[in-house]
Amino acid sequence: MRYMLPLLFLVALLAMLMLRGYVHSEILADHRIQPPTATDRVPERVLEGGPVIDARSTTEPAKTLRIPDHRIVLTFDDGPDPVWTPRVLDELKKYHAHGVFFVTGTMASRYPDLVERMVEEGHEVGLHTFNHPDLSYQSTGRIDWELSQNQLVLAGAAGIRTSLFRPPYSSFADAMDNKSWPVTQYVGSRGYLTVVNNTDSEDWKRPGVRAIIERATPKHGRGAIILMHDSGGDRSQTVTALGKFLPKMQHRGYEFTNLTAALGAPSAHTPVTGFALWKGKAFVWAVDVSEHITDVLVVGLAVIGVLVLARFGLMLLLSFAHARRVRGKGFRWGEPLTRPVSVLVPAYNESKCIANTVRSLVASDYPVEVIVIDDGSTDDTADLVDRMRLPNVRVVRQRNAGKPAALNNGIAHARYDIIVMMDGDTVFEPSTVRELVQPFADPRVGAVAGNAKVGNRDSLIGAWQHIEYVMGFNLDRRMYDMLGCMPTIPGAVGAFRRDALNRIGGMSEDTLAEDTDVTMALHRDGWRVVYAENARAWTEAPETVQQLWSQRYRWSYGTMQAIWKHRRAVVERGPSGRFGRVGLPFVALFMVVAPLLAPLIDVFLLYGLVFGPTEKTVGAWLGVLAVQAVCAAYAFRLDRERMTHLISLPLQQILYRQLMYVVLLQSWITALTGGRLRWQKLRRTGVVEAPGAMQDRRRSSNDRRPVA
């Protein structure tokens, strides 16, 4: 379910966007117009005949029909339009007049209620193709497609088929040429009457109401098929002209009627029943869904755009304020701390990493005791640490019970009041512990987050995570520090006051993100949680997509669990209420909800590249990338990192970010479907060594891990 639902969701979204592009003539559209050609292959009786061409017979020559005197067939092309078609219908209804609406499938599928109104009010409906192409350029297969899709829409909108057809870009019968005549013959063989016109109001030029009326008025009482438009632009002049033209011509004895009524023929409409009816209704419903989905996406894109820009702006502002504060000459947490601290290292099968981890702690310039809690490892992790025989390092063994249990066991064995926690695949710089514990000089501080950095950044996937850690994590922590709602003490480098941990019951096993869980609990208990930028720790990031997926899936799901666990803080009083009404919504919005909407930027990038406008779409996406690049560059400057790693930022946004989207979506589905996720052990290589050595070490080709 967790894999199928995201796939089905993406397929359905793609299908809806493709359908929208289709009904908006953004795909499969052909806007070429055939220039006039010779007419020597067109029968003379057609060129000199009436505006209705009947080429349906396979045994008899094509014939033409004229409208009887004092009868007018008003025809309206290119609709229905949500603004102008209702006003045209209102004018016709006001004067009890009828006409023929030649609708396109693209418009009729989007506004089926107007087609239904046309039929209910006694008007006739004809086909004007689906996408409005010049059919003289099209194959017979494409012509059949245009007609059948147009009929499908009529079935779904009004439950009818029609036998009337008007070619796009058509004119008078004498304008038929060697390119358009074969199309008329073929359409006739499919059972359609081809309807052109013999009076053109030229309302599409918007020449003025008086000019439209003059050009639409038949001469000498003759019958006429008058061409007008109810779509394709501003049709206010057409509507106004109808209000004057209808009563004027009725006063002269003209009757405004349907085409078949004027010719004394059976109705052009045939009821549709059975499967064809439901197929049409399903298509119209799908178009309606695609339109609404697109509207939702547009609103979502606007929301996420505002959120992204607001977040980046807030991040830059507060990060600048944080750096200025903690780097100021007069800044200090209090009297410098010198008393020893306990460092807990929970480890499960960390034999490749644990030696580097422990050595980095022993090299610390601050007094520490190191407790390695072996959580039932099946390799020689514990024995390896014992064989090292390092001072102030001891091993606590336990049966496999998970990381929270290992940390609680370590807390029970710790001698000192400040507890530093780190992962077994992480190394500290000599000054890390000292920098990490100094904020505890402030008695209000209950926990401190360190600066976790990616140690194995020599692969592409490692470089992407390096950008994410510097920009997405550490820059965020500066912002959250200033807001007083730090969401997570990283498991790789964090410190806690023992009293604070005891008051909240230690490390909880309720969620898969025990670091986020305990941090939120500390906020609710009234403790300050701060960020120490100089407390750097180098961690081994996942080196394959599968490992990265497993890690981020657990992080995302665990964060959701922690937010849900602490949801009651929203209605509580005191410190818990402040965190619940400020920190919890902020964390939920920017860590869970906004990232879920962020893919809309990329969805519209693809949509714009395929359907246009390409230049504006690319420009907008590059604008978002530029904002991110500015934030990333500032974050790298604050962390004193080389800017060369930002070269891969555009590729990260295209590829790496998509993986994070799918991971978050899968976490949402797991949460909503009640699924359970277990801890997953990542494969380690031990590539991250103590500071100094790690910068110069180069892995051999045999040790290099694939990106995907």
Whether 132 is a known active-site residue: answer: no
Query: φ, ψ for residue 593 (rounded to 5)?
Result: -80, -55
Question: Would you give the distance in Å from CA 386 to the centre of its chain?
Answer: 52
List, in sequence order, every residue forming a beta bridge with 64; answer none if it has no partner.
53
Pair 91, 246: CB distance under 8 Å: yes
Distances (CA, A) of 631 to 314, 377, 625: 11, 41, 10
- Backbone angle region of 597, left / alpha / beta, with phi > 0 → left and psi within -120 to 50 → alpha: alpha
The Cα 708–Cα 706 span in angstroms is 5
Q: Residues 612-634, buried b or exposed e (16+ Cβ, 10 A)? A: eeeeebeebbeebbeebbebbeb
The Cα 708–Cα 699 span in angstroms is 18
C-beta atoms surrounding 663 within 10 Å: 22
CA angle 225, 231, 233 (to 5 degrees): 125
- Locate tokens 């994070």: which residue? 660
The Cα 221–Cα 207 span in angstroms is 24
Catalytically annotated residue among 77, 81, 134, 423: 77
Nearest CA to 183 among 197, 168, 198?
168
The Cα 607–Cα 375 span in angstroms is 50
Question: Would you give the distance in Å from CA 313 to the centre of its chain?
Answer: 22
- Locate tokens 């930022």: which residue? 649
Query: φ, ψ for residue 380 (rounded to 5)?
Result: -100, 35
Strands (E), 415-476: 418-421, 426-428, 445-454
The Cα 163–Cα 702 span in angstroms is 72
Pair 670, 592: CB distance under 8 Å: no
List, in sequence order, every residue forming a beta bridge with 394; answer none if it has no partner.
371
Query: φ, ψ for residue 103 (rounded to 5)?
Result: -100, 150
- Cα-only R_g, the chain: 37
DSSP state of 690: S
- Locate tokens 């807390």: which residue? 411
Whether 77 is a known active-site residue: answer: yes
CA angle 231, 235, 238 (to 5 degrees): 115
Instruction: Quote the crossing angle between the two packed helices 460-467 and 545-565, to the nearest 10°.
Output: 30
Nearest CA to 281 among 115, 118, 89, 86?
115
Nearest CA to 519 among 536, 499, 504?
504
Using DSSP bridges, classify how beta strands 528-539 and 445-454 pair: parallel, antiparallel or unpaired: parallel
Q: What single-letter amino acid sits at 491?
A: G
The Cα 480–Cα 341 span in angstroms is 26
The Cα 110–Cα 121 span in angstroms is 20
The Cα 562–Cα 511 span in angstroms is 6
The Cα 603–Cα 669 span in angstroms is 20
Catalytically annotated residue among 98, 123, 128, 229: 229
Q: What single-letter amino acid sits at 128?
A: H
List, in sequence order, every residue forming a beta bridge with 194; answer none if it has no partner.
53, 165
Question: Would you give the distance in Å from CA 73 to the centre of its chain?
Answer: 48
Question: Active-site residue numbers?
Answer: 77, 229
